[in-house]
């Protein structure tokens, strides 16, 4: 079986009397160490799909197997355990803790994992900080960093638990074109280090970094 298998995934939201069918039968498979971009117009269901792939949410129907485990029917606790083991997230608006410095932001996911804020983890956070080119900023707060630097901290945070999969939802949406290049080079580096990288983007240039482009239209895979 492939590393990630999504079979006939649907997602429906009910708000008051209104039923919104967001995903309408998604079939997808990913292998380990693929670099995939997901494109589609606003509202087509990209973030909803990413949330399911990342085990932040479960589908309304259909099956999702991650590394051979059926994860589409797990409860919240089981999902968060799978997330801690497999997934690192990067978002458009960074979501760093403003009162915590760089190193504590990077260590945040270790609090929720079996691992803790041990010396080993602090060493590892420093190594990753070096990898993203921010060793000099360890004690800075997010507001004292540029947007690109903040996103690099967020990427470092995504890497701290050594996830197999990095999910990035429009990670360069708030960045200028030069910074976008730096960040995309960083994702390419993660890919070359063996990670499975999945990026949602509106930008064809960014999509071109990926080995495979998936297009979503009205909650279906297009084409
Ligand atoms: N929690 C929710 N409750 C109700 N409706 C939702 C929820 N999440 C998403 N939707 C609806 O699902 C549709 C798709 O949303 P989604 O965020 O997946 O789109 P998207 O492709 O990521 O768009 P964008 O490019 O603007 O980020 C939208 O119409 C939205 O209103
Ligand atoms: Mg979105």
53-74 burial code (b ≥16 CB/10 A, e <16): bbbbebbbebebbbbeeebbeb
- CA–centroid distance, 58 to ligand 2, in Å, is 17
Nearest by Cα to 164 from 84, 63, 96: 84
Q: Which ligand is nearest to the CA of 48?
A: 1
Contacts of 21 (CB under 8 A, 6+ apart): 10, 11, 12, 219
- For 4-221, which CATH superfamily applies? P-loop containing nucleotide triphosphate hydrolases (3.40.50.300)
- In the chain, which residues have pLDDT < 70? 112-119, 223
pLDDT tens for 95-140 read 999 999 999 999 998 876 655 556 688 899 999 999 899 999 999 9
Helix (H, G, I), strand (E, B) or coil at 10: strand
- CA–centroid distance, 46 to ligand 2, in Å, is 5
- Give residue 83's pLDDT: 92
pTM: 0.93
Residues with CB under 5 A from ligand 2 (ion): 47
Q: What are phi and psi of 162, to 5 degrees?
A: 55, 55
For the purposes of burial, counting CB atoms within 10 Å of the CB of 94, is it exposed (0-12), middle (13-18) or buried (19 or more)? buried
- Give residue 117's pLDDT: 52
- Give residue 119's pLDDT: 63
Q: Which of 10, 11, 12, 13 for mutating ligand 1's site (highest number of atoms within 8 Å of CB)?
A: 13
- Give residue 46's pLDDT: 96
- Give residue 121's pLDDT: 87
Nearest CA to ligand 1 atom 12: 22
Residue 212 pairs in a beta bridge with 36
- Give residue 109's pLDDT: 87
Helix (H, G, I), strand (E, B) or coil at 112: helix
- Give residue 34's pLDDT: 97
- Give residue 110's pLDDT: 86
Nearest by Cα to 154 from 206, 85, 88: 88
Q: Which ligand is nearest to the CA of 218?
A: 1
Helix (H, G, I), strand (E, B) or coil at 119: helix
Q: What are phi and psi of 142, to 5 degrees?
A: -50, -40
- CA–centroid distance, 35 to ligand 1, in Å, is 23
- Give residue 223's pLDDT: 65
Residue 10 pairs in a beta bridge with 24, 61
Q: Domain coordinates of the chain in residue numbers?
A: 4-221
Ligand 1 pocket list (CB less than 6 A):
13, 15, 20, 22, 40, 42-48
Give the strand pairing for 4-15 and 61-66: antiparallel
Give Cα separations from 78 to 46, 55, 57 (angstroms): 23, 9, 12
Q: Cα separation of 130 and 106, whole Å?
A: 12
- Give residue 120's pLDDT: 81
């Amino acid at each position: 079986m492939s590393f990630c298998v999504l079979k006939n995934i649907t997602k429906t939201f009910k708000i008051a009397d209104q039923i919104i069918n967001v995903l309408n039968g998604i079939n997808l498979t990913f292998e380990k160490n693929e670099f995939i971009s997901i494109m589609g117009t606003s509202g087509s269901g990209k973030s909803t799909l990413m949330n399911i792939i990342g085990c932040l949410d479960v589908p309304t129907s259909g099956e999702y197997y991650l590394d051979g485990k059926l994860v589409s029917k797990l409860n919240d606790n089981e999902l968060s355990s799978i997330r801690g083991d497999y997934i690192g997230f990067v978002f458009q608006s960074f979501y760093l803790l403003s009162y915590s410095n760089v190193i504590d932001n990077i260590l945040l996911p270790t609090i929720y994992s079996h691992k803790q804020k041990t010396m080993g983890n602090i060493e590892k956070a420093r190594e990753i900080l070096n990898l993203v080119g921010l060793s000099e900023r360890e004690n800075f707060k997010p507001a004292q960093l540029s947007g690109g630097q903040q996103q690099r901290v967020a990427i470092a945070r995504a890497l701290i638990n050594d996830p197999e999969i990095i999910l990035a939802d429009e990670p360069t949406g708030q960045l200028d074109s030069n910074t976008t290049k730096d960040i995309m080079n960083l994702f390419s580096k993660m890919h070359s280090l063996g990670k499975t990288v999945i990026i949602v983007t509106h930008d064809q240039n960014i999509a071109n970094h990926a080995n495979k482009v998936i297009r979503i239209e009205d909650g279906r895979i297009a084409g």
